Structure 1
């Protein structure tokens, strides 16, 4: 087998590993925002979007002041206050969640610094429909170090 063909086969065999975590946005239930907070266990700061593995406490509680949190204006029409007011805890009890953030160009536009394992973060976002399949959330809002970032679009 020639060297070029061997490299193509190796690249093709690695593809499913690199693409396993990406879900199409239509897979998520945009009518039911959920809230998660916890400790970052691992980070993938790469495209198609940054991802976090978040460990949540078994006794996760919805913050009483969640609806009053300030959220930044975005270029996309997002009613952040309504999303925060409507947010609930997930029904599934997984302790580990995959958090899909925004593409790196958008993370840079928001000036989000790469998040490190051990960081405490919270998110409001959307699970897969009926919370079936993977324990994954597409983050709408990311809260880290006292700052809120809207991830659907760029800052307004």
Structure 2
């Protein structure tokens, strides 16, 4: 093995797991938004994006007011009302989901306070197109207390 290749392998092995799994929006099903709600069990507040492990509520259901919730405008063309109106619960039965948030600079632009284990929150986002593999959700909207944050782009 060349010295250069060995250095690349050593450097890659030192990266956190989330860096190896980083991907864009194209692998997610943006036509089927999902709703999750629960308690945060783990947090990785780092780039390329913050990640949470969310333990779902035992009696997960769509909130009656979800489609009427106010969501902030983003610089990306996201129709928040339409997205919330077509949001559904996941078909898979995983109790723990990995939630991919935005990069830290975008979370700072939205003034999202650092989330800690034990926090209760809900999220609307997208899972993989075939819903196979790990239970991962790419967050579009994050709801913490009475505050909603849009995460696809910066605040409009």
Q: TM-score scaled to structure 1, two decimals?
A: 0.90
Matched, 1:71 2:71: yes
Greater Cα shift, 42-51 or 18-27: 18-27
Deviation of 1:146 after TM superposition, in Å, equals 1.0
Residue in 1 that maps onto 2:153: 153
User: 1:132 deviation in Å?
Assistant: 1.0
Counterpart position of 1:3 = none
Distance apart, 1:9 and its partner CA:
5.9
Q: Distance in 2 between matches of 1:9 and 1:78?
A: 39
Which structure 1 segments of 5+ residues have no match?
Answer: 1-5
Q: Which residue of 1 aligns with 2:144?
A: 144
Unaligned runs of 5+ in 2: 1-5
Deviation string 1:116-156 (CA, Å, 9 cap, x unpaired) is 00000100000011211110000000000210000011111
Question: What's 2:113 paired with?
Answer: 113
2: CA distance, partners of 1:9 / 1:129: 31
Match in the other structure for 1:36: 36
After superposition, what is the alpha-carbon deviation per residue over 1:24-69, rounded to whole angstroms, capped at 9, x for unaligned?
3211000000000000001111111111100002321111110010
Report what 2:3 is aligned to: none
| Aligned 8 A contact 1:58 1:93 in 2 | no
C-alpha separation between the residues in 2 aligned to 1:102 and 1:125?
Answer: 12
> Is residue 47 from structure 1 mapped to residue 42 from structure 2 by the alignment?
no
Higher relative strand content:
1
Poorly superposed stretches of 4+, deviation over 4 Å = 6-10
TM-score (norm 2): 0.90
